[in-house]
């Protein structure tokens, strides 16, 4: 017996002939089956373990800020109020960073990674509102003395 190719029927095609042809830049458009994209990652949202410390810190800071202002307790009231304001602002910043990390954006501002530029009027409104709140808080604490 000689080793060599086997005789095959002339009417049967090789499986290689049935495979889709490749063009120099990839498979032909007609031969490609449609693909379905499925998101494997879970939806990003804030969990309770992320929200609880932020809410507790904000509550403690706002109470520290509000009680000396409301009841005018002694000489240390201004210091406690400013410390409460600082803690409240830290909690607000922490909350904003956590919300931004999961994909939330402030109203009027584009989502992260969208490539859009924020409108300067919306930014000016946010800056003016924040400056007004800080000015009112500092003015109220200054009046305690």
Alpha-carbon distances of 35 from 23, 32, 72, 110, rounded to whole Å: 20, 9, 68, 30
How many CA atoms lie within 13 Å of 6's alpha carbon, on the beta-carbon side?
A: 2
What are the pLDDT digits (tens) for 97-145?
888 888 778 888 887 778 888 888 999 999 999 999 889 888 877 776 6
What are the pLDDT digits (tens) for 7-23?
555 555 555 555 555 66
What are the pLDDT digits (tens) for 17-73?
555 556 666 666 665 566 777 777 666 777 788 788 888 888 888 888 888 777 776
């Amino acid at each position: 017996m000689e080793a060599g190719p086997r005789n095959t029927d002339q009417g049967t095609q090789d499986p290689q002939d049935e495979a889709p042809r490749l063009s120099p830049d990839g498979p032909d458009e007609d031969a490609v089956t449609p693909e379905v994209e499925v998101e494997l990652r879970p939806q990003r949202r804030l969990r309770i373990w992320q929200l609880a410390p932020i809410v507790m810190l904000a509550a403690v800071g706002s109470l520290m800020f509000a009680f000396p202002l409301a009841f005018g307790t002694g000489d240390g009231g201004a210091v406690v109020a400013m410390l409460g304001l600082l803690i409240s602002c830290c909690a607000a910043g922490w909350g904003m960073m956590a919300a931004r990390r999961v994909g939330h954006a402030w109203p009027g501002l584009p989502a992260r990674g969208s490539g859009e530029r924020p409108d300067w009027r919306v930014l000016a409104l946010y800056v003016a509102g924040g400056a007004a709140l800080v000015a009112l808080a500092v003015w109220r604490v200054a009046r305690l003395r």
